[in-house]
Amino acid sequence: MTSIPEALLWCLSAGTAAAVVLAALSIRARGQRAGLRSRLSAAEEQNSATLHSNTELSARLRATEAEIRHLSGTRLPDLTLALAHPHVSVPGLLDARFAGTETDQALNAVLEQVSDAITKERARVDAAAQSTLRGATTTIQALLYQLQSALQEMQHRYDDPNVAQDLLNADFLNEQALRRIQATGVVCGAWPGLTREDSYLAELVVGATSRLRGYERVQVSNQLRDPVAVVARAVEPVVIVVTELLANALHHSHRELPVIITLQQGNRGASVIVDDYGVGMHDDELKAAMELLSGDNSVLLTQLGDPPRSGFAAAGQLVRQYGFGVHVEPSPYGGVRAVVYIPGDPLLTVLDESAQPMSVMAPLPHRSGVPDRSGVPDRSGVPDRAGSALPTGTTTPSPAPAAPAAASYEAPVPQAEGELPRRRRRKPVSELDESAPRTESAPPRSPEETGSRWAALQRGTETGRAAAQSEPPRSPEGNA
In a domain, 8, yes or no: no
More confident residue, 394 or 113: 113
Angle at which helices 76-84 and 102-157 cross, to 10°: 30
Q: End-to-end alpha-carbon separation of the chain, Å?
A: 182
Structural domain for 316, as ranges: 197-350
In a domain, 159, yes or no: no
pLDDT, residue 50, reads: 74
DSSP assignment of 262-282 equals: EEEE-SSEEEEEEEE-S----
Judged against a pLDDT cut of 90, whether residue 54 lies above it is answered with no
Judged against a pLDDT cut of 90, whether residue 179 lies above it is answered with yes
pLDDT, residue 464, reads: 63
Angle at which helices 3-70 and 102-157 cross, to 10°: 10
In a domain, 453, yes or no: no
pLDDT, residue 377, reads: 34
- Sign of the CA dihedral running 127, 128, 133, 136: positive
pLDDT, residue 465, reads: 60
Which CATH number do you get for residue 261? Answer: 3.30.565.10
In this structure, the chain runs to a length of 480
pLDDT, residue 448, reads: 63
Judged against a pLDDT cut of 80, whether residue 49 lies above it is answered with no
pLDDT digits (tens, 9 = 90+) for 83-101: 888 888 899 888 888 888 8
pLDDT, residue 368, reads: 52
In a domain, 7, yes or no: no
- In angstroms, rounded to a whole number, what is the distance separating the alpha carbons of residues 208 and 144? 17
pLDDT, residue 386, reads: 33
More confident residue, 467 or 419: 467
In a domain, 142, yes or no: no
In a domain, 274, yes or no: yes
pLDDT digits (tens, 9 = 90+) for 224-236: 999 999 999 999 9
**In 164-206, beta strands by DSSP E:** 199-200
In a domain, 378, yes or no: no
Mean pLDDT over residues 438-460, rounded?
60
Distances (CA, A) of 18 to 10, 21, 31, 265: 12, 5, 20, 131
pLDDT, residue 458, reads: 66
pLDDT, residue 348, reads: 94
Q: How many domains does the chain have?
A: 1
Mean pLDDT of the chain: 78
Distances (CA, A) of 398 to 45, 62, 103, 238, 457: 108, 84, 78, 27, 11
Judged against a pLDDT cut of 90, whether residue 451 lies above it is answered with no
- In angstroms, rounded to a whole number, what is the distance separating the alpha carbons of residues 43 and 35? 12
In a domain, 255, yes or no: yes
pLDDT digits (tens, 9 = 90+) for 315-367: 999 999 999 999 999 999 889 999 999 999 889 999 998 899 988 888 888 76
